[in-house]
Copies of this chain bind each other. A is one copy, B any other.
C-alpha cells in the first residue's frame, strides 16, 4: 500500500474552500510520512490487515500536519518544506481555523478503525495528543526559563516528538492484535528513535552542510534555542559556558558572527562527540527492543527506518 498516495487521495474539494484549501495545501507539501508508515509496518509485523490500520495511519499524518500548521503560526515561521506557510500564503486566522479543522479531520479518520478497537485507539490518541500540546508548552516555557536541565529537555522532546512516533507504532500493533507486551515494546522503540531523531536534529542545526541541509544552518543558534547541544555545552561550565550564555542573551539582525563563534565554542568543548554518542545510544537501545519482537520483513523495515532517520544529513 502506497501511504503517500493514500494521503494525497484524501478529498478536500469541499465548500467553504477557504477552510479546506489550506488543508489540501498543507498535506500536499510532502514530508517523509514517517508516522503513517510506522503504523502500517507495526501492523504488518503482527500480520494485521492494511485496510484496518489505514484510517489510524492517515489520522496520524493529518494530526502531525495540524501540529506543524499551528506551531508555524506560534513560531512565526514563514517557510515549511520549501513553501510559504499557511499564515503567510493566506493569513493567521485561516491558519488557526483550518488547523482546528485538521484536528477534527484527524478524529474523523480515526473513527474509521474497526469499531471494537475504537475506544482503546481513541484513548491512546487522546493521551498522545495531550502530551504533544504539553511538550509544545514546555518548549515555549523553556524560551523564558533561565535554567533548563538535560532531563527537562529530554522530557520535553519525548512529549513533543517521541510520543507521536510511539503512538503510531503501538496503535498499528494494537489494531493488528499484538499483545500488550509487544505493544509496549514498540512504543518504547518509538520513544527511543524519537529522542535520537530530535537530538540528531539539534546536531544538524550546527554541523550540517549548507548545500544539502533543508533549512538555514544555525537557525537554533540565531533564535537562542536551548537545544541538546547547547545544554551539553553549558553543563561544562567555566568561561566558555559564560560566553555562550552571553551570546544567547542577544537577538541580532545579522547572525553570521554569532553562529560562527557559538559553533567554535561547541567544538572547543567537544560536545559534538558527546551528542553523537547519545544519538547512537538511543538508536542502539531502540534496536535492542526490536530484537525482542517477531523477526520478519516488517522488523527489518523498522531497523532500516531507524537507521535512516538517525544517520540523515538533512
Contact = CB atoms under 8 A, between A and B. Distances in A.
A91 B71 CA distance: 15
A133 B97 CA distance: 7
Interface in A116-131: 118-119, 122-123, 126, 129-130
A108 interface: yes
Contacts of A123: 111
Given A115-B119, A141-B18, A108 B126 contact: yes
A103 interface: yes
Interface residues of A, number: 34
A136 interface: yes
A73 interface: yes
A160 to B, nearest CB: 12
A104 interface: yes
Given A19-B133, A96-B70, A115-B119, A126 B104 contact: yes
Contact of A18 (B16, B93, B104, B140): B140
A153 interface: no
A89 to B, nearest CB: 16
Interface in A71-112: 73-74, 93, 96-97, 99-101, 103-105, 107-108, 111
State the copy count for this chain: 2
A250 interface: no
Contacts of A115: 119
B118 A122 contact: yes
A141 B133 CA distance: 30
Interface in A129-173: 129-130, 133-134, 136-138, 140-141
A25 to B, nearest CB: 15
- Top 8 closest A-B pairs, CB basis? A19-B137, A16-B137, A74-B93, A101-B133, A108-B126, A104-B129, A115-B119, A18-B137
Given A70-B100, A104-B129, A115-B119, 14 more contacts: A15-B134, A16-B137, A18-B140, A19-B137, A73-B93, A74-B96, A74-B97, A93-B140, A97-B133, A97-B137, A101-B130, A104-B133, A107-B107, A118-B122
Interface of A: 15-16, 18-19, 70, 73-74, 93, 96-97, 99-101, 103-105, 107-108, 111, 115, 118-119, 122-123, 126, 129-130, 133-134, 136-138, 140-141
